């Protein structure tokens, strides 16, 4: 009788452990699935623009022929990405085309990365001074292939860090809960 009771206890324990392992596996798979969905849901930008030439011809407007260039904008704007803009476009216009600066944009330190064959040049611009003074020196004209980087404030970096830590805390708490099952 003692052997049968022990066997029943071991059998019940194995069933509980097996069910617990299944629950743990299900939760882990669910968390991984949700994580992969969040990554897949991020916007990806693809463009059908032909990069064979630095300029594109878009026809004429009245008496003037219009050439267009590729310009990139990254960072703290509403819609970063690749834009096909007229060849006389300045930085302020490109930022406006990208939906304007975000609330966390640092307009005192906008960078332009400009390529000259095999070398690159980085230009820093204080666009806030242009907005305050109207001096055209601060609002330069873009060249083909320019990349404009609108940097964020320290507060933005701090917000991103806090968001990352809270998401990490959620993942760790789910993991600890799974281990306790």
Per residue in 1-25, is it b (16+ CB within 10 Å) or e — as a string? Answer: eeeeeeeeeeeeeeeeeeeeeeebe
3-state secondary structure of 78: coil
pLDDT tens digits along 44-86 = 444 444 444 555 555 555 556 678 899 999 999 999 999 999 9
For tokens 């873009």, the residue is: 142
pLDDT of residue 45: 43
For 26-145, list the strands marked E by DSSP: 55-61, 64-75, 81-86, 105-116, 119-125
Q: What is the C-alpha to C-alpha distance for residues 10 and 23, in angstroms, rounded to an integer? A: 20
* Cα–chain center distance at 161: 15
Is the pLDDT confidence value at 2 over 60? no
pLDDT tier at 159 (50, 70, 90 boundaries)? confident
pTM: 0.57
Residue 66 has a CB neighbour count (10 Å cut-off) of: 14
Alpha carbon distance 110, 127 (integer Å): 7
Which domains are present in the chain? 55-156 (3.10.560.10)
Residue 11 has pLDDT above 70, yes or no: no
């Amino acid at each position: 009788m003692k052997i049968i009771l022990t066997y029943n206890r071991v059998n019940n324990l194995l069933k509980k452990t097996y069910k617990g392992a299944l629950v743990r596996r299900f939760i882990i798979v669910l968390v991984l699935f949700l994580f992969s969905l969040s990554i897949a849901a991020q916007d990806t930008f693809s463009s059908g623009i032909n990069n064979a030439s630095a300029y594109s011809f878009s026809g004429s407007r009245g008496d003037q022929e219009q050439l267009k260039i590729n310009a990139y904008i990254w960072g703290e704007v509403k819609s970063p990405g690749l834009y096909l803009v007229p060849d006389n476009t300045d930085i302020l216009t490109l930022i406006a085309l990208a939906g304007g600066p975000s609330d966390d944009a640092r307009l005192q330190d906008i960078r332009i990365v400009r390529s000259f064959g095999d070398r690159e040049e980085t230009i820093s611009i204080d666009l806030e001074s242009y907005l305050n003074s109207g001096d055209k020196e601060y609002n330069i004209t873009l060249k083909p292939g320019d990349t404009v980087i609108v940097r964020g404030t320290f507060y933005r970096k701090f917000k991103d860090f806090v968001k990352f830590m809270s998401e990490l805390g959620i993942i760790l708490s789910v993991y600890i809960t799974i281990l306790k099952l």
